[in-house]
Amino acid sequence: MAARFMVTTPIYYVNDKPHIGQAYTTIAADVLARFHRAGGEETFFLTGTDEHGSKVEETAKKQGKTPRELCDMNVEHFKKAWKNLNISYDYFVRTTDARHQKAVEKLLSVMHKATGGNGEKVIYPGEYSGLYCVGCEKFITEKELVDGLCPDHLQEPKRVSEKNYFFRLSSYLRQVGELIRDDRLKVSPEERKKETLGLLKQGLDDFSISREKVSWGIPLPFDPKQNAYVWVDALPNYISAAGYGDDSEQFEKWWNQGEVVHLIGKDILKFHAIFWPAMLLAASVNPPNRIFVHGFFTINGQKMSKTLGNVVDPGYLVQKYGSDGTRYLLLTQFPFGQDGDIQADRFVEKYNSDLANDLGNLVSRILKMVCNYSQGEIRKPSAYQESDESLRNEATGCAEIVWRNVQEIDLKQAIDQVMKLVRSTNRYVENQAPWALAKENNKERLDTVLYTSCETLRIISALFYPVLPQRCGRIRELLGLSGEALNPTLEKAEEWGVLEPGTKVGTPESLFPRLEKKAKREKPKTVAAEDDVTAEVSFEEFSKIDLRVAEVKEAEKVKGADKLLKLKIDIGSEERQIVAGIAEQYSPEEMIGKRIVVVTNLRPARIRGIESKGMLLAAKDGKTLSLVIADKDVKSGSEVS
Ligand code: MSP
């Protein structure tokens, strides 16, 4: 067991609020960090935000903010989301932090001075001309486009032509390949290792490390007219946060002496498994130990993307399922490391069956029996019988199996193992029927069965703690644990007899209240939606709304109303007039030609005496408002579904 463990998430773009894709990685990293802490390792859990580059710069401009204002606003959404999800990070890095910028400058200076194996400069000036996808923040080739658009973001890439500095990646490909081949840099699961080695075999071009025309970035220390390419600024967050260029003692402790694991989604494999180790080699810094690549998920069978606008807000899930419920539901949908589908449609069912029934009921049932039959006191067990021994062995042996799964970062398997123990305990209680023992006044047997149940529950609460920290903490309190003992360790999860006879248990409470399944099929809230979960509509209700793409033909201010614009719109079948409260954010001139989305089947309303036959869709964040806009290829009158 390594004494030190450092785990990282990707740092997320702050052009928008967090979505459940990012929450998924962050929850997984948190579970890993908590397991390693419980395993007695000194742990450093790093997450943060990627704040520079075109994506943020362009979004800020659209919203009438400076990039800094946009970052400062959205970073708070990330922090809040992670707090709501009980994410126990040790350090939150922002690429706009002075400490990070200093580290990037140092890294780039070292790389700039370096020469590759054949004596050539590692960084050299060159001319770049090609396509750039702002959504991906990467250069993209004609071959990768589908109908002229980036397939991931359905955006047309920009043609970029400028003087850049390049990194001589080609000088390091062989070395990176060796590191990965013999697992000094372990890329897992295995198929991702193969994929990386395949990419290396094909050969990769040197890449540009700076941008002349992107002004929101870190200036190159050797040519301040250019800013660092956003990935060249982002990847070093892993070392800047560990102390590179600032605190050599910390850096030594975490980066050089810890086991460093990067957790990422498969979309950013090339950057992490090839570009990043190559940059580190060029700067004579150790590579990380491991890169674990998880898959991508769809939601109810549909691809999810911010740009497509069907992205679920993790805050909504927390309000509905609690932080533990959300953590559990997201991690148990499909094996960690593979692609899968998040069956949000079936969340209520799964929550009720696993958490409310299997775990929640078990806890309240056991505590209730201790209260009713033993005056709320855990009593000393007498001779164990085979059934007790069997549960005891399963419980004390579980930590080792779970720890092995955690080492392999097989998080779903680890969770399934603990759930198996929960179910065995339920069966044990059912078979031993303490209620019958109480009736028969078989005190010795009753004490043994209840002790065995409580001890197993203590072990379950320790093994489930990394996944369900809030509720498991409470289970431990209810079991009468206090002080140091509240903090679960894997070591104690392998021991038996930790609960002291005579301990008073707490009054049973509903830990995971059952949820009612309201609608047949639910539409989860998206990132743009308000936080009000009570505004849920059923699928049937939702499908009654007729949403259409409409082109704005004419627009003018409504006299005497600062907020209103009167619009003439073409909804395909007819032209209509609507009144919309967008005048503070949009001028009449800029509205002309916009392809907005309108609810067309509302009863006509009169606003300030003017007839309005429809309502447009817009996202609102405080005073900031953004219209929902359809692509120019979609005809007026097209249905929005
Ligand atoms: N800023 C870069 C990362 C720089 S790291 C030095 C970036 N940011 S991101 O905000 O786009 O986050 C990408 C990450 O979000 C993915 O690697 C993955 O961890 C997570 N996911 C985004 N969508 C996802 C799914 N649909 N499914 C699973 N994970 C998803 O890329």
CATH 1.10.730.10 residue spans of the chain: 346-493
283 burial type by CB count under 10 A (0-12 exposed, 13-18 middle, 19+ buried): buried
Q: How far, in Å, CA of 110 to CA of 69, rounded?
A: 32
Distance from Cα 142 to the centre of ligand 1, integer Å: 23
Give the Cβ contact number of residue 86 at 10 Å: 19
Please give the biggest Cα pair distance in the chain. Answer: 88
Asked if the model's pLDDT at residue 70 lies above 70, the reply is yes
Q: What is the pTM of this model?
A: 0.82
Per-residue pLDDT tens digits for 539-568: 445 556 788 899 888 889 888 888 899 999
Nearest residue to 196 (alpha-carbon basis) of 107, 118, 274, 307: 274
Residue to mutate (ligand 1; options 16, 22, 52, 238; most atoms within 8 A of CB) = 22
CATH superfamily of 527-640: Nucleic acid-binding proteins (2.40.50.140)
pLDDT for 300 equals 85
Q: What is the pLDDT of residues 188-210, one digit of tens each?
A: 999 999 999 999 999 999 999 99
Cβ-proximal residues to 202 (8 Å cutoff; 6+ apart), any chain: none
426 lines ligand 1 (CB under 6 A): no
Q: Is the CB of 24 under 6 A from ligand 1?
A: yes
Candidate from 77, 137, 267 with most ligand 1 atoms within 8 A of CB, to mutate: 267
> Distance from the CA of 165 to the center of ligand 1, in angstroms?
26
pLDDT reported for residue 142: 84
pLDDT at res. 537? 44
Q: What is the reported pLDDT for 534?
A: 28
| Range 172-181 average pLDDT | 97
Instruction: Report CA Rg, the chain.
Output: 28
Instruction: Give yes or no for residue 233 CB within 6 A of ligand 1.
Output: no
Return mean pLDDT, the chain: 92
- Looking from the CA of residue 235, the nearest atom of ligand 1 is 6
- Could you report the per-residue pLDDT of 493-545, keeping only the tens digit for each? 999 999 999 999 999 999 999 998 765 445 556 554 332 222 344 444 555 67
Q: In the numeric block, which tokens belong to residue 142? A: 């004609």
Task: For residues 78-93, give the mean pLDDT.
Answer: 98
pLDDT digit string, tens, across residues 311-327: 788 999 999 999 999 99
pLDDT given at position 641: 73
pLDDT of residue 495: 98
Task: State if residue 222 touches ligand 1 by the CB under 6 angstroms criterion.
Answer: no
Q: Which atom of ligand 1 is least distant from the CA of 13?
A: 10
Tell me how far the alpha carbon of residue 486 lies from the centroid of ligand 1, in angstroms.
Answer: 34
The segment(s) of the chain belonging to CATH 2.40.50.140 are 527-640
The whole-number pLDDT of residue 306 equals 58
CATH number listed for the domain at residues 4-294? 3.40.50.620
Lowest-pLDDT range of 161-165, 279-283, 353-357 = 161-165
| Residue pair 628/309 in contact by the 8 Å Cβ criterion | yes
Question: How much is the pLDDT for 406?
Answer: 98
Task: Determine the distance separating the centroid of ligand 1 and the alpha carbon of 302, expressed in angstroms.
Answer: 17
* pLDDT given at position 117: 74
Q: Contact, 192 vs 266, CB < 8 A?
A: yes
DSSP symbols for 11-39: PEE-SS---HHHHHHHHHHHHHHHHHHHT
How far apart are the C-alpha atoms of 330 and 323, rounded to whole Å? Answer: 11
In CATH terms, is domain 346-493 a member of 3.40.50.720? no
pLDDT at residue 533, as a whole number:
28
Q: Is the CB of 12 under 6 A from ligand 1?
A: yes
Cis? peptide before 434, omega within 30° of 0: no
Check if the beta carbon of residue 457 is closer than 8 Å to that of residue 475: yes
User: Each residue of 467-499: pLDDT tens digit?
Assistant: 999 999 999 999 999 999 999 999 999 999 999
Q: Is the CB of 25 under 6 A from ligand 1?
A: yes
Of 167-181, 292-306, 319-333, minimum mean pLDDT range: 292-306
Where in the chain do CATH 3.40.50.620 domains reside? Answer: 4-294
Across the beta sheet with 297-299, what order do the strands follow?
302-303, 297-299, 340-342
> CB-hemisphere CA count at 13 Å for 74?
28
- What span, in angstroms and rounded, lies between the C-alpha atoms of 576 and 594? 15
For residue 236 and ligand 1, the question of a CB distance below 6 A is answered with no
Q: How confident is the model over 385-408, as pLDDT tens digits? A: 999 999 999 999 999 999 999 999
CB atoms within 10 A of CB 232: 28
Contact 264, 306 (CB under 8 A): no
Which atom number of ligand 1 is nearest to the Cα of residue 303?
Answer: 26
CB atoms within 10 A of CB 487: 14
Q: What is the pLDDT of residues 336-349, one digit of tens each?
A: 999 999 998 899 99
**pLDDT score recorded for residue 531:** 29
pLDDT at 529: 36
